[in-house]
Homo-oligomer: A and B are copies of this chain.
Amino acid sequence: MDELLSVSVGGAFVGGDRPVLRENIDDLSRMVEEADVLLREKGRDDVDGFGWINLPYQDLSETIEIGRWLSGFEAIVQIGIGGSALGNRMLAKALLPPFYNELDASVRKAPKFYLLENPDPKTAVSLLDRLDLSKTAFIVVSKSGSTTETAAHFLWAWQKVREKMGERASDNFLIITDPRKGILRKFAKSTGCRSLNIPESVGGRYSVLSSVGLATASALGINIEKLVQGAKEMDQRLALRSHLWENPAWLLACINLLHAKAGRNMAVMMPYGDDLADFAEWFAQLWGESLGKEGCGTTPVRALGAIDQHSQLQLYAEGPDDKLITIIDVNNRPLFLLPDVVDIDALKDLEFLYGKALGDLLSIEARSTASALVKAGKPIIYLKIPEVSERYIGALVFFYEYVTALVGFLMKINPFDQPGVEQGKRYIYSLMGRKGYKEYVKEVEEYFGACQKMEIII
């Protein structure tokens, strides 16, 4: 059986005066096994929050059909934020060619792809003024339908398209939302827009392998069957690994917990290669929002190799021992050989690069960084995938969802809720003048006032 990924954790056992030892991990064996049983049981029963574990077994036909329809547009704009955007960004960056939107249509062979996430008027206006709206599909993604940023973009795009297309505006909209509840479901019904469901038991940050991530992926030519197949293979293989030292998800969950307990409060995610840049972004939401509660949780730190060797490596190597650093490497990259420039004497010192492969350089850098960090006594995890393609990205995504959920159980917190964002939402509603939220205006004035009490202007 060919591999889906490999994990090297030797470096993770170091740790100076706060070591994480093999026996510490062994001690968790029973706990992680129980957590795994719980996860699979609740998944099987489709309990709220646990639904992502069933996504590898979904029927994709409706999503593929919608994808085919979407692929006929010149451009696709997905309106969403957080879990309704990050997964899409990650898949597009990993699996579409670089500079995708700038390529000629004949090379691209699929619509341009944009996300409207941040309620930033400059971005939004610049985008919608430039696109031919009659040839643009808008995908509005929100489970509740009431996410403020998404609602604002949606209202505006709807108005703009209606000005141009009148009653036919709904032909250019796809709604992805809760099967029954919420504003957007009502809207889809009343206007006749196409729609897809987000399964009720799947939360935003675990939704990339649902219609949320897959509809656009399919439209852009990403093979979503292979993506889901990779997730399924990972799920099935994990289910067969009943020993801690054979199950990479169990092992990583335990190691993460133990380093957190040892005071390493950051989980650095540092994949190598531009195509994996947004994987760290996606991971950061999954990890931060799932585990950051009740005073628990390690902070996900997004990094990118090799670039951050010239930005963060100094700190990782010689700063405090407060991080567990995951490096993701890729086995097969395009090689691309560097030329010999023998006729220019001034370049003689660069001779060592002549004839070398640029694709090898990235992996050499990943291994060098791993080695330098181990030498500096810092704990690392070195994870490798065979290549950046649908099957392996699907497997990697499912793997990290699994690890994150297990860490949540080991920390005895619910990895599927996010109570801490409600406060901010109430404040936003109150300042935007939404009915029923007036009482919070005072609170904002109080807390923001406290913050402004000492204001220095220069």
Given contacts A120-B273, A318-B294, A339-B155, contact A313 B424 (CB under 8 A): yes
When distances are taken between beta carbons in the complex, the residues of chain B under 8 Å from A3 are 457-458
Query: In whole angstroms, what is the CA distance A10 to B190 when docked?
Result: 49
Is the pair B299, A311 in contact by a Cβ cutoff of 8 Å?
no
Asked if A69 CB lies within 8 Å of chain B CBs, one says no
Query: In whole angstroms, what is the CA distance A322 to B311 when docked?
Result: 22
Interface string of A358-374 (1 = CB under 8 A from B): 11011011011111101
How many positions in chain A have a CB within 8 Å of any CB in the partner chain? 165
Interface string of A228-263 (1 = CB under 8 A from B): 000000100110010001111001000000000000
Is the pair A297, B313 in contact by a Cβ cutoff of 8 Å?
no
In chain A between 255 and 305, which residues have their CB closer than 8 angstroms to a CB of chain B?
Answer: 265-266, 273-275, 281, 284-285, 288-289, 291-297, 299-302, 304-305
Is the pair A424, B309 in contact by a Cβ cutoff of 8 Å?
yes
Is the pair A83, B310 in contact by a Cβ cutoff of 8 Å?
yes
Is the pair B307, A361 in contact by a Cβ cutoff of 8 Å?
no
Is the pair A443, B375 in contact by a Cβ cutoff of 8 Å?
yes
Is the pair B456, A265 in contact by a Cβ cutoff of 8 Å?
no
Asked if A35 CB lies within 8 Å of chain B CBs, one says no
Is the pair B274, A293 in contact by a Cβ cutoff of 8 Å?
no
Instruction: Please tell me which stretch of A39-47, A49-57, A58-66, A330-338 contacts chain B, meaning at least 4 of its Cβ atoms lie within 8 angstroms of it.
Output: A330-338
In chain A between 100 and 125, which residues have their CB closer than 8 angstroms to a CB of chain B?
Answer: 101-103, 117-125
Given contacts A251-B456, A314-B418, A368-B444, contact A292 B319 (CB under 8 A): yes
15 extra A-B contacts, CB within 8 A, seeds A10-B452, A291-B319: A8-B452, A8-B456, A98-B123, A118-B305, A119-B361, A121-B334, A122-B333, A125-B336, A186-B346, A288-B311, A313-B424, A352-B429, A368-B431, A370-B451, A371-B451
